[in-house]
Amino acid sequence: MSQIHVTTTINGDTTEYLCNPEDTLLDVLRDTLRMTGTKEGCGTGDCGACSVTVDGRLVCSCLMLGAEAEGKSVETIEGMADGEELHPLQTKFLEHAALQCGICTPGFLVAAKSLLERNPDPTEEETRYWLAGNLCRCTGYDKIIRAVLDTAAEMRQEKSNAA
């Protein structure tokens, strides 16, 4: 079984790897590139723990082949903070105690970031539906939703201050 050579961009860096045709993007991220921030909770697109964005589009990396990433731009949790500067969502998740065990946290953060990029002022209902594909079994979602809404409010405030 011959491997496929893939050139892609991950968190802004050009990255090359060899993968088997049946390897998912998640397999490549975790096992080949050892970027284990992206988690596998189900492998069937039902839990969202493996959320990443591909060309700005939120997807489950377990439902995409590694070979499909050729020429694309992939963003993962490892690229969310800017050096030592956390993304506001990361800060708010800590402040609101929006994580207990933390296994679903990377997926929630990546998915929530994608929401706020499209909709800087989501309602609670819009937020809950956008994140419905991200399962959390610890928190009952309450503090996660609050953290996302609070981040959105703060980011809007900063934007208006900057303007």
Partner 1 sequence: MPLDSDQDTKPRTSFKYVGTRPIRPDGLEKVTGKAKFGADTFATGMLHGLILRSPHAHARIKSIDTSKAAALPGVKAVVTADDFKIEQEPGEMANVRANIMARGKVLYDGHAVAAVAAVSKSVARAALKLIKVDYEVLPHVTDVDEAMADDAPLLHEGMITEGVEPAPTKPSNIATRYEFGHGDVDAGFAKADVIVEREFKTAATHQGYIEPHACLANLSSDGSGDIWVCTQGHFMIRDSVCSLLGIDFSKVRVQSSEIGGGFGGKTTVFIEPVAAALSIKSGHPVKIVMSREEVFRATGPTASSSSRIKIGATKDGRIVAADGLFKYQGGAFPGSPVEFGAMAAFACYDLENVRAVGYDVVTNRPKQAAYRAPGAPMACYAVDNVIQELADKLGMDGIDFRLKNAADAGTKSSYGPVYPAIGLKTTLEAAKKHPHYSAPIGANQGRGVACGFWFNFGGQTSVSLNISPDGTVNLTTGTPDIGGSRSSYCLMAAEELGIPYEHVRASIVDTGVIGYNDVTDGSRVTFAGGLATINAARNAIKEMCSRAAQMWGIDVEAVKWEDGYAKPSGANAGDHEPLSLAQIAADAPNTGGPIAGHVECNADGAGVSFATHICDVEVDRETGRTSIKRYTVLQDAGKAVHPSYVEGQYQGGAVQGIGWALNEEYIYNDKGLLDNAGFLDYRIPVASDLPMIDTQILEIPNPGHPYGVRGVGETSIVPPLAAVSIAVSKAVGVQLSELPISPPKLLKALS
Partner 2 sequence: MRYEAPETTADAVALLTGEQGIARVLAGGTDLLVQLKSGRLEPDLVVDVKKIDAMRSITAEDGGFRIGAGVSSAEMSEHDGLCAMWPGVVEAAALIGSTQVQGRATMVGNLCNASPAADSVPAMVAAGATIRIVGPNGSRDIPVENLNSGPGKTTLAKGELVESVYLPARPAGSSDAYLRFIPRTEMDIAVVGVGVSLTLDGSGTCTAARVGLGAVAPTVLLVEDAAKALIGTKCDEAALDAAAAACSAAANPIDDKRGTVDYRIKVAGVLTRRAAAIARDRAEANA
149 binds partner 1 (CB under 8 A): no
**CB 8 within 8 Å of CB 73:** yes
Contact window for partner 1 (CB under 8 A) among 64-72, 75-83, 115-123, 154-162: 75-83
Pick one of 12, 56, 71, 102: the residue that binds partner 1 (CB under 8 A).
102
List Cβ neighbours of 140 (8 Å cut-off, separation of 6 or more): none
List Cβ neighbours of 18 (8 Å cut-off, separation of 6 or more): 3, 4, 5, 6, 32
CA distance 23 to 31: 10
**CB 72 within 8 Å of CB 30:** no
112 binds, among partner 1, partner 2, none (CB under 5 to 8 A by kind): none
Residues between 79 and 98 that touch partner 1 (CB under 8 A): 80-81, 86, 90, 93-97
- Closer to partner 1 by Cβ: residue 7 or 117: 117
153 binds partner 1 (CB under 8 A): no
Nearest to 99, CA basis, from 24, 58, 45, 39: 39
Note the residues at the interface with partner 1 (CB under 8 A).
1, 20, 22, 30, 34-44, 46-47, 49, 76-78, 80-81, 86, 90, 93-97, 99-106, 109, 124-125, 127-129, 131-146
